[in-house]
Amino acid sequence: MKTKQLAQSAEVVALIMVLASIIALVLESDASISREYQHWFSLSRGVFGVFFVGEYILRSAVTQREGASFKSWWKYGGSFFGVIDLMSILPVLLPMLIGPNFAVIKTFRMLRVFRILKFGRYSKSMKMLGDTVMSVRHALMSTLFIAAFIILFSSACMYYLEHEAQPEAFPDIISTLWWAVATLTTVGYGDIYPVTAGGKLFASIVAMVGIGLVAIPTGLMSAAFVSKMEEQDN
């Protein structure tokens, strides 16, 4: 019973630290607040870094109870949250490994954003969403493959239709990928668009195909999520 209570207390502390690190990350993005409380933010980065590194070590150590082998550790280290935990502590570990390179440290500080995803470990809704994604992962991968094929095909077609009329907007197939992605996702930023009759006709077809393409994973996720909720209710 004491072990269970200790584990629950540890989970609460970890949750508080995750929330505190997210709040600090958001506040630090404000230039005026960051300048005024620079010392406290530097201190908090150190505290959070030590805590999350310690958490990763402890979680890794717990897995070794099943046997001191890579396979037993991989159950945690190779899991979704295991990867997230590792990514969130890289800003602490990398400067120790590669030295105080300011440019590198500044770049890898961005990885602290991954700590936001750690919150999902303590949320039942997020766990349910993760289970939902895993249950339809094969169908989602098939949809992703189809989307990649359509994007590449659309880019190639639009390049040949619009290149002569707009060599700057559609200089090559690689550059045209941006137009294909924006159109197929029905976002359509409007910075690149066709001007020829053939290009406009093809773009209209691609836009309609995009509506159906987005609807496929949405339908899969919705059906699987409802199924998970019914399983829990029963």
Q: List domains and CATH numbers for the chain.
A: 2-122 (1.20.120.350), 137-233 (1.10.287.70)
Task: Give the amino acid at 66.
Answer: E
Amino acid at 216: I
Q: Would you write out the chain's pLDDT as a tens digit for each of its 234 residues?
A: 566 677 678 778 888 888 888 888 888 888 888 888 888 988 988 888 889 888 888 888 877 665 566 677 777 888 878 888 888 888 777 766 666 555 556 666 677 777 777 777 776 767 777 778 888 888 888 888 988 999 999 999 999 999 999 999 899 999 899 898 888 887 666 778 889 999 999 988 988 888 888 788 888 888 888 887 777 766
Q: Which residue has the tokens 């095909």?
A: 153
Residue 79, helix vs strand vs coil:
coil
Residue whose structure tokens are 């159109």: 183
199 vs 157: CA distance, rounded Å: 9
Angstrom distance (rounded) from CA 94 to CA 89: 9
Buried b (16+ CB within 10 A) or exposed e, 183-202: bbeeeeeeebbbeeeebeeb
Question: Are 171 and 183 a contacting pair, CB within 8 Å?
Answer: no
Q: What is the pLDDT of residue 158?
A: 92
Phi, psi of 229, rounded to the nearest 5 degrees: -65, -40
What is the structure's pLDDT at 201?
A: 93
Q: Is the pTM of this model over 0.75?
A: no
- Predicted pLDDT at 149: 92
> What is the DSSP track for 179-213?
HHHHHHTT---SSS---SHHHHHHHHHHHHHHHHH
The span from the CA of 130 to the CA of 178, in Å, is 29
The reported pLDDT for the residue numbered 8 is 75
Distance (Å, rounded) from C-alpha 184 to C-alpha 193? 13
DSSP result, 130-182? HHHHHHTHHHHHHHHHHHHHHHHHHHHHHHHHHTTT-TTTSSSHHHHHHHHHH
